Amino acid sequence: MEKMVIDNFNSVFKDTNTFISGHTGFKGSWLAFWLNNLHSNVSGLSLEPEKDSHWNDLDISILNNNIGDIRNYNFVEECLLKANPEIVFHLAAQPLVRESYETPIETWETNVIGTANLLQACRKLDNLKAIIVITSDKCYENIEINKGYKENDPLGGHDPYSSSKAAVEFLVSSFRKSFFSNADSPRLVTARAGNVIGGGDWSKNRLIPDVVRSSISGNPLSIRYPNSTRPWQHVLDCNYGYLQLAMKLLSESSVKENAFNFGPSQNSNATVQEILIKIKSFWPSIKWELDDKTNPHEAGFLYLNSSLSNNVLNWKPVLNLENTLEMTIDWYKNYSEGIICSKDQLSLYTKLLKDSANN
């Protein structure tokens, strides 16, 4: 029997027009799939998905599947007018730090100009109530100390990706003050999450996809920064944050804050090496070795303080680090046997979410 996805959001998304930029990506595909299971009318805008892509594996049909470039304003406006959304989730981006060293201009064009195009086009929409712009934990000025960054900490960013996300934060703040500040304007907020993992991520230079590829090829994984600490978080915990924020923005006028952190609980902060040792207990065949070449700078310490989301949105992660890794590895093991278990995992997650709300 097919597993049920429980509606944990008071049916707010049922029959509602929603729009996701980046719907074919790792996080966007899980978000579109979840909204689709909540009977939302989902439209999206993305580039053509890669051959290995969670989006292509999903059993999903959406209202408007627009494939094109967010740097093209006319295309973005056309997609948004056609979708006529009440809520926009903006995820489309060049999201990789290492890639941003290779293509800094393209990264800034996609992330910053792409966001400006989307926000400008949103001004033409009649039924829009809220826009959630996804930035990153990397938008903060990282001073490499062991503390959780709060929403009002200074923004910064060393590499072109991180600085582009800080720039998006300034852009959003300017558009909010300039164009979305009337009482009846759509609410415009940003959401900052940490290192998101889960099944279906096939990106280059990310730890879990690299682990999976190396275990398939039998070659040891080359590890660049074994002692870098990150807030590891399951994609469903992260997307639960975005949906909880969207639900509150659509249904309550009491949310006044403009930026929200969505990080895992403190004990899910772990080094790359600690994560690999844990993964090995689920997947004994994985092997790794240290890459001691000189690599471009990446942050050492990075934590988020999510007490604002806990207090204002009543959001907290459902999965601990152990469950997060187990579910992630389980997805790829199923995949290697030709099974796509995304629906089962989403059903399980919504059940855990319901149970956690009742406790």
Out of 39, 71, 98, 150, the only residue in the binding site for ligand NAD (CB under 6 A) is 71
Could you tell me if 187 and 171 are in contact, meaning their C-beta atoms sit under 8 angstroms apart? no
Smallest gap from Cβ 327 to ligand NAD, in A, equals 16
Residues between 136 and 155 that touch ligand NAD (CB under 6 A) = 136
Residues between 191 and 250 that touch ligand NAD (CB under 6 A) = 193, 195-196, 203
Out of 9, 22, 175, 239, the only residue in the binding site for ligand NAD (CB under 6 A) is 22
242 phi/psi in degrees, rounded to 5: -65, -40
| Cα of 16 vs its chain's centroid, Å | 21
121 phi/psi in degrees, rounded to 5: -65, -35
Helix H or strand E segment including 131: strand 130-134
Smallest gap from Cβ 204 to ligand NAD, in A, equals 10
What's the Cα-to-Cα distance from 196 to each of 67, 108, 167, 179, rounded to whole Å? 24, 21, 21, 32
* Segment near ligand NAD (CB under 6 A); pick from 87-95, 255-263, 291-299, 328-336: 87-95
What's the Cα-to-Cα distance from 345 to each of 54, 92, 328, 329, 340, rounded to whole Å? 14, 24, 10, 12, 10
CA distance 187 to 255: 9
CA distance 352 to 250: 24
Out of 110, 115, 239, 261, the only residue in the binding site for ligand NAD (CB under 6 A) is 110
Token readout for 213 is 């590829």
44 phi/psi in degrees, rounded to 5: -145, 165
Nearer residue to ligand NAD within complex by CB, 168 or 313? 168
Out of 25, 160, 209, 241, the only residue in the binding site for ligand NAD (CB under 6 A) is 25
Nearer residue to ligand NAD within complex by CB, 230 or 278? 230
276 interacts with ligand NAD by CB under 6 A? no
Residues that bind ligand NAD (CB under 6 A): 22, 24-28, 46-47, 69-71, 91-95, 110, 114, 134, 136, 193, 195-196, 203
